[in-house]
Amino acid sequence: MADKPVRADKATAVAELTEHFRKAEATVLTEYRGLTVAQLTKLRRSLGQTATYSVAKNTLAKRAATDAGITGLDELFTGPTALTFVSGDVVEAAKGLREFAKANPALIIKGGVFEGKAISADEVNKLADLESREVLLAKLAGAMKANLSKAAAVLQAPLTKTARLAAALQDKREKEEAAQ
C-alpha cells in the first residue's frame, strides 16, 4: 500500500514548526487543556516579544522535531500540546510559564528542548529558578569592578610608600643641612 500524499497545508505547517525548532534558543511543551481562549491570550502577552506560544497537532510537531534533529520528545506529544518557542532569554520565558501555571493550574509544563537536548519539566523549573541574564551580567560586572578596585589599590600601595619614603628622605636631608 502506498503512502498517503502529504497535504500541502500539513507540509507547510511541519516546515514552519521545524524552522521554529531550529531557530529557538529553547522550546517548552505545555498542556493547555481547560484554559480559555482569554487565558491563552493572556499567556501569549505575558511571554512578550521573545517567545511565541502556539498550539500544534502532536503528529505535526513530532515530525517537525524529528526533522529539526531533536530526539527524546515523543512521549511528551500526548494530549493537547502547545509549544513555546523562546528566541530571547530562556530563564525569563521559563519563569513566565511557571508563574502563569501557578496562577492557572490547567497549564501543565511537560518538558522541552534546551541547547538541542530534551529536558524534563523539572529541568524547565530549574531554569526558571535561575536569575535572569541581566541580573547575572550585573553581578559579574560588580564582581569585576570590585576586583579591579582591589587591583588598583594594590598597585597604588607601592607608589604611595615610595612617595612617603621620598618625602621622609627630603625632610631628613633638609634637617641635616639646617643643622650644619
| Residue 125 and residue 75 share a domain | yes
Are 20 and 106 in a shared domain? yes
Task: Please report whether residue 2 resides in a domain.
Answer: no
Element (H, E) at 48: none
List CB contacts of 74: < 8 A, sequence separation 6 or more: 62
Distance (Å, whole) CA 123 – CA 129: 10
Question: What is the model's pLDDT at position 2?
Answer: 46
pLDDT of residue 86: 92
The residue assigned the cell 511543551 is 29
* Model pLDDT for residues 78-97, shown as the tens digit of each residue: 889 999 999 888 888 888 89
Same domain, residue pair 50 and 139: no
pLDDT tens digits, residue range 103-158? Answer: 989 899 999 999 888 888 888 888 877 766 666 677 677 777 766 667 666 666 67
Report yes or no: 98 and 128 within 8 Å, Cβ to Cβ. yes
DSSP string across the chain: -PPPPPPHHHHHHHHHHHHHHHH-SEEEEEE-TT--HHHHHHHHHHHGGGEEEEEE-HHHHHHHHHHTT--S-GGG--SSEEEEEESS-HHHHHHHHHHHHHH-TT-EEEEEEETTEEEEHHHHHHHHHSPPHHHHHHHHHHHHHHHHHHHHHHHHHHHHHHHHHHHHHHHHHHHHHHH-
CB-CB contact of 91 with 127 (8 Å): yes
31, β-bridge pairs = 81, 108
Domain of 117, in residue numbers: 8-130
**Nearest residue to 30 (alpha-carbon basis) of 42, 15, 40:** 40
90 and 150 both lie in a single domain: no
Say yes or no: 171 and 109 in one domain: no
Residues 85 and 102 in one domain: yes
For residues 43 and 54, state if they share a domain. yes
pLDDT, tens digit (0-9, with 9 covering 90-100), for 19-52 = 999 998 899 999 988 888 999 989 988 888 888 8
